[in-house]
Amino acid sequence: MSYPLDNPLLVIAKNPVARQDISTTLRTAGYRVFESERVSTPITPATEESPAVVLHVTEADSAVCDKAVRRIRARWPESVTVLIGEHADNDGFGAALRAGAFAYLFEGFSTERLCLTVARALEYHAMRRELFSLRSSVAIECAHDSFVGVSPAIAEVRTRAMRIAPTDIAIMLTGGTGSGKHLLAKIIHYHSHRRRSPFVTVDCATIPEPEHVACLFGEPNSARPGLLERADGGTLYLDAPGELSIAAQDRLAGFLLQHTAQLENTGEAKRLDIRVISGSNRRADDLLARGSIRSDLLQALNVISLDLPPLSSRREDIELLSDHILRVIGRENGHEPCYISREALERLSEHDWPGNVRELEGTLRRAVAFCREGCIEPEDIVLLNYSGSREQAPVRPENNRRTLTIKGGLLDDTQRTLIVKALDANNWNYTRTAADLGIGRTTLWRKIRKYDLKRETTTAE
């Protein structure tokens, strides 16, 4: 068996004979092995490589094992630790595992046992790296600029979200269906210190009312934990908390006050570390007026409120959103994003979008399926009424929006003004301008080229 050369094994032992015996066995099995007398010693003279697995021969005393594991994890956080005891000791074994060791080998282990333990430790290391990569990808997809828009309302929401993301404060997101509440909750989670912990979603409206308590706190006599316990250390996103049963609201309000949950599956009270973000189609005062939520629960959930504006009130964002969505669709399907004509964009801008960004995404996915040669034209835009039936004619707003004709086609007056003002304010620095607008630098550069926007210069007479 062999392992990639950039992931060596490290054997640490004060006893040179024990160190040599283990290293020789592993090298014979095909591994690249480094040796060290202690944790603090560099594993190679020229460079400090991070080992995939650290095998540490130590005393079986529980305090020594605990200290050894913690020192290894502090120096090489991504490494997997295997302790090897000089003699069998259950206290040392327990201390090692509690401190985070992957395995503990007692004195007298066989060559087969050593190689099998290392192989499993390497598999665990590979899975952890893959999980970290996946989480990093999600974090990239959940970057703040993924909440696309240049409208003042969206810029304000994005700014406030960036400020409160690193905290543990409870947030209530309000806005219509499809306005992006779930996405914003994920963005906040992945920009907090909880990003490596679970993001658990509870869609209260889709769970039968008799199951609300069991869903959150676990089912009696079941080994399966409830969603609260699964979210321990991370974030719980409550979608439509006003739909929870009175019993569930009562239990949840008690948990948010005490941070301790009485778990039904184990019958024990357990302290849980959870940040709660909730989302609702109705504002907090409306929920309270309707009597659909307990006042103490609402107070605990609504420490800070962020209101997401409907797409109909920020039409200047439609072009940027369309560009972003088409790129996501292209990436999902493994091809270049489709181009959308100015006429098609104009048709999109005339719709009222009762389903908000989610409806826009569905419309563009249909258009990608219908279009030919990678270009979306007006006839490819199939708009639906909010009921789901096909719309015969586009809904035109009462106030006619003025557009400008420039090189490259039609551009909304509001959007062009925002971009030019931002460029002027930042002395045409693309990086600062893109940050102010909440878009990527490449997107800004592409729009400047597409519309042939040029900086006006003045010359002295």
Q: Is the same domain home to 445 and 331? A: yes
Query: What is the domain extent for residue 43?
Result: 9-137
The residue-averaged pLDDT of 304-315 equals 94
434 against 287, higher pLDDT? 287
Q: How is residue 14 written in tokens?
A: 């004060």
Question: Which of 95-104, 126-135, 156-165, 324-333 bottoms out in mean pLDDT, i.e. has the lowest?
Answer: 126-135
The residue-averaged pLDDT of 362-376 equals 91
Q: Is the same domain home to 299 and 319? A: no
Close Cβ partners of 4 (under 8 Å, ≥ 6 residues apart): none
Q: Residue 137 pLDDT > 50, yes or no?
A: yes
Q: Is the same domain home to 322 and 421? A: yes
Q: Is the same domain home to 160 and 298? A: yes
Q: What is the model's pLDDT at position 406? A: 31
Q: What is the model's pLDDT at position 256? A: 94
Domain presence at residue 236: yes
Q: Residue 320 pLDDT > 80, yes or no?
A: yes
Domain presence at residue 460: no
pLDDT-derived band at 385 (thresholds 50, 70, 90) equals: low
Which one of 253, 284, 309 terminates a domain? 309
pLDDT-derived band at 143 (thresholds 50, 70, 90) equals: low
Q: Residue 298 pLDDT > 90, yes or no?
A: yes
Q: What is the pLDDT of residues 394-444, one digit of tens each?
A: 433 443 333 333 333 334 445 667 788 788 888 888 877 877 776 666 667
Share of the chain above pLDDT 70, in %: 82
Domain presence at residue 355: yes
Close Cβ partners of 400 (under 8 Å, ≥ 6 residues apart): none
CATH code for position 98:
3.40.50.2300
Whether this model's pTM surpasses 0.75: no
Q: What is the model's pLDDT at position 304? A: 95
Q: Is the same domain home to 294 and 368? A: no
Which one of 309, 337, 362 terminates a domain? 309
Question: Which of 103-107, 176-180, 365-369, 447-451 bottoms out in mean pLDDT, i.e. has the lowest?
Answer: 447-451
Query: Can you tell me the distance from the alpha carbon of 156 to that of 162, in angstroms, rounded to the nearest whole number?
Result: 10
Q: What is the pLDDT of residues 386-395, one digit of tens each?
A: 544 455 434 3
Domain count, the chain: 3
Q: Largest Cα–Cα distance in the chain? A: 93
What does pLDDT average to over the chain? Answer: 82
Q: Residue 223 pLDDT > 50, yes or no?
A: yes
Alpha-carbon torsion 130, 131, 137, 140, what sign? negative
Domain presence at residue 13: yes
Beta bridge partners of 375: 339, 372
Q: Is the same domain home to 298 and 157? A: yes
The residue-averaged pLDDT of 236-252 equals 94
pLDDT-derived band at 39 (thresholds 50, 70, 90) equals: confident
Q: What is the model's pLDDT at position 145? A: 63
The residue-averaged pLDDT of 318-331 equals 90
Q: Residue 106 pLDDT > 90, yes or no?
A: no
CATH code for position 216:
3.40.50.300
